[in-house]
Amino acid sequence: MSAEPQPQSPWQTATISRVEKRTPRVTSFWFQPSRPFTHLAGQHVDVRLTAPDGYQARRSYSIASAPEAGAGVELAIERLDDGEVSPFFHDVAEVGDEIELRGPLGGHFIWEVSDGGPILLVGGGSGVVPLMAMVRHRASQKSAAPIALVLSARVWDEVIFRDELIGLDDRRDGFDLVLTLTREQARRPADYSRRVDAKMMAQAMERLPKAPRLAYVCGSNAFVSAAAEALIDAGVPSGLIRTERYGV
Amino acid sequence: MVTRGFFSGRRPPSDIDARIPPGQYLEQGFPVLSAGPTPRVRTEDWSFTLKHGPRPVKKWNWAEFNALPQSKMTRDIHCVTAWTKFNTPWQGVLIDDIFADAGIEPPTAFTLALSFDGYSTNVPTKDLVTGKAMVALLYEGKPIPADHGGPARLLVPHLYFWKSAKWVNGLQFTERDEPGFWELRGYHMYGDPWREQRYSSDP
């Protein structure tokens, strides 16, 4: 029996190359992996922090950047006050720091332009992150696949990627943005000021040329449960709905 | 590699440290994770089928299944998304008792657990028997909420929790170790939390 080669560790070092505050509670961090990789829109990476005594904490974060972005891997990290990893990023991490990460990971909550459309995306709060990778992927590939994104946030200033999404919406090239604010009045004519429901889902689907071939829902567990029920009530077969739930 | 500036963390007290597998943290809540919407399975529509390959061996309805001998199991559970929850109390039917009621000795070394929503996951047959696993019907003495896999879910607590299929409606003996839903999507074929077998590239 020949000696097996030592498998390469799936973990690698990545250097933080840029930090940008997105909303009061969400900051984007760009990572330059020492072994560059190409991800699929919707995939995540695992991040691992190690204390001097060897204690490790690891979390999964969805990738916000498009696969073809090339400027590093963008993770948009929401500060959870009782968290142990997100406060580190918000309070300690800075450009030049080296962080261990592993990935890309995940083979279900993904979309490529070759998969085609129409696609309905439904995000709650930081649940927009993997959906943003899909929207950016569509834009950078100049895909004509119709996509509608329904994005729920508490208030206008907590809509992550807001200006970029409105800019893409303004192109009128088959991408439609619908914002719904749960604690503030809507600011744009077509937007809503309430929690997602079946009527909102039905109206979002009317923006697509035909019924969606797939729907992707991402957010907190409560949001995903409510949005998935709303989609089913609006007539989307449950087998076409893919979900990703953050935390509890 | 030590991370600059990372000191605190949610380091577990030393007396419980040994119960937390590598890379996991202790969670008090009970997070919900799934690949799609929560199916609402009514107990009058519920059934459980034991299959050898495509061939059904025995099928139970809800009343018949609930009449099988029931056992209790309180176990620590470990989700691949890194949370560990201590002392989760379940009641249900041991896989041993399902096989006994069907009058069958496991004919193959591999089993696929099947669910109402089309989900599947593979577990070696030896990991299901000798009291290691059950089809759970109660959690904390009450019917299992749909979000957590009710009316019935598989419980294989010594493996990562995606192996404990929600909304389970059958077990199928297979000749080979056939990957299930997540195993086809990059997750580990076996999933031992103590060996951190999260993804297919893990040894």
Distance CA B131, CA B97 (A): 9
Average of per-residue pLDDT across B147-173: 97
Domain with CATH 2.40.30.10 in chain A: 11-105
Average of per-residue pLDDT across B153-170: 98
Other residues' Cβ atoms within 10 Å of the Cβ of residue B1: 11
Contact A47, A59 (CB under 8 A): yes
Which pLDDT score, from 0 to 100, does residue B8 have?
A: 66
Say yes or no: B28 contacts chain A, CB-CB below 8 A: no
List C-alpha distances in Å: B81 to A30, A57, B158, B201. 22, 12, 15, 16
Q: Where do the structural domains in chain B lie, given as residue ranges? A: 45-195
Say yes or no: B39 contacts chain A, CB-CB below 8 A: yes
CB-based contacts of B172: which residues, under 8 Å, 6+ apart?
A: B50, B51, B52, B53, B111, B112, B114
Rama region for A160: left / alpha / beta (φ>0; ψ in -120 to 50; rest): beta
Average of per-residue pLDDT across B128-153: 97
Which pLDDT score, from 0 to 100, does residue B184 have?
A: 94
Which pLDDT score, from 0 to 100, does residue A1 have?
A: 43
Query: Residue A7: which pLDDT band, with cuts at 50, 70 and 90?
Result: low
Tens digit of each residue's pLDDT (9 = 90 or more) over B172-191: 999 999 999 999 999 999 99
**CATH number at A11-105:** 2.40.30.10
Which pLDDT score, from 0 to 100, does residue A246 have?
A: 82
Distance from CA of B111 to the nearest CA of A (A): 23
Q: What are A's interface residues with B at a Cβ cutoff of 8 A?
A: 7, 10, 13, 48-52, 55-60, 84, 88, 92-93, 97-100, 105-109, 221, 225, 228-229, 231-232, 238-239, 241-243, 245, 247-248
Residue from the list B6, B25, B39 with its beta carbon closest to the beta carbon of A50: B6
Distance CA B141, CA A201 (A): 37
Q: Do B199 and A105 touch (CB under 8 A)?
A: yes
Average of per-residue pLDDT across B152-176: 98
Q: Residue B15 has which token pair?
A: 């007396």
**CATH number at A113-246:** 3.40.50.80
Q: Give B59-62 contacts, CB < 8 A, sequence gap 24+.
A: B60/B101, B62/B151
Distance from CA of B157 to the nearest CA of A (A): 20
Average of per-residue pLDDT across B133-144: 98
Q: Do B202 and A84 touch (CB under 8 A)?
A: no
Tens digit of each residue's pLDDT (9 = 90 or more) over A16-73: 999 999 999 999 999 999 999 999 999 999 999 999 988 888 899 999 999 999 879 9
List C-alpha distances in Å: B134 to A217, B155, B170. 31, 5, 12
Average of per-residue pLDDT across B162-175: 98
Q: Please, what is the Cα angle at B101 between B165 and B137, to 5 degrees? A: 35
Between positions 73 and 92 of B, the ones with CB within 8 A of A are: 81-82
Show residues of chain A in contact with B180, CB under 8 Å. none
Which pLDDT score, from 0 to 100, does residue A54 have?
A: 87
Q: Which three-class secondary structure state does DSSP give residue A76? A: strand
**CATH number at B45-195:** 3.90.420.10
Query: At residue B54, what is the residue type?
Result: P
Q: Quick one: what percent of chain A has pLDDT higher than 90?
A: 87
Which residues, listed in sequence order, are joined to residue B172 by a DSSP beta bridge?
B51, B112
Tens digit of each residue's pLDDT (9 = 90 or more) over B47-90: 999 999 999 999 999 999 999 999 999 999 999 988 999 999 99
Tell me: pLDDT of A248 over 60: no
Packing angle between helix A128-140 and helix A162-170, nearest 10 degrees? 40
Alpha helices in chain A (DSSP H): 86-91, 128-140, 162-170, 198-206, 221-233
Contact B86, B66 (CB under 8 A): no
Q: Which three-class secondary structure state does DSSP give residue B91? A: strand
**Which pTM value belongs to this model?**
0.91
Say yes or no: B147 contacts chain A, CB-CB below 8 A: yes
Show residues of chain A in contact with B22, CB under 8 Å. 56
CA B77 to chain centre: 9
Residue from the list A99, A100, A108 with its beta carbon closest to the beta carbon of B35: A108
Tens digit of each residue's pLDDT (9 = 90 or more) over A113-160: 999 999 999 999 999 999 999 999 999 999 999 999 999 999 999 999
Name the closest residue on chain B to residue A55, using Cα atoms.
Answer: B11
Tell whether ipTM is more than 0.90. Answer: no
Which pLDDT score, from 0 to 100, does residue B12 have?
A: 73
Contact B100, B122 (CB under 8 A): no
Query: Residue A6: which pLDDT band, with cuts at 50, 70 and 90?
Result: low
Distance CA B2, CA A177 (A): 42
Distance CA A204, CA A112 (A): 21
Other residues' Cβ atoms within 10 Å of the Cβ of residue A231: 28
Determine the residue among B3, B10, B81 to mutate to test chain A binding: the one whose Cβ has the most chain A Cβ atoms within 10 Å. B3
Say yes or no: B100 contacts chain A, CB-CB below 8 A: no
Q: Which residue has the higher pLDDT, B7 or B44?
A: B44
Query: Residue B155: which pLDDT band, with cuts at 50, 70 and 90?
Result: very high
Which pLDDT score, from 0 to 100, does residue B34 have?
A: 82
Distance CA B65, CA B4 (A): 55
Distance CA B137, CA A167 (A): 51
Nearest CA among A229, A230, A222 for reference residue A246: A222
Which pLDDT score, from 0 to 100, does residue A247 have?
A: 63
Say yes or no: B35 contacts chain A, CB-CB below 8 A: yes
Beta strands in chain A (DSSP E): 11-23, 26-33, 44-50, 56-62, 73-78, 98-105, 119-124, 147-153, 175-181, 214-220, 241-246
Distance CA A134, CA A146 (A): 12
CB-based contacts of A105: which residues, under 8 Å, 6+ apart?
A: A43, A44, A45, A46, A60, B186, B199
DSSP state letter for A85? S
**Mean pLDDT for all residues in chain A:** 94
Determine the residue among B2, B4, B6 to mutate to test chain A binding: the one whose Cβ has the most chain A Cβ atoms within 10 Å. B6
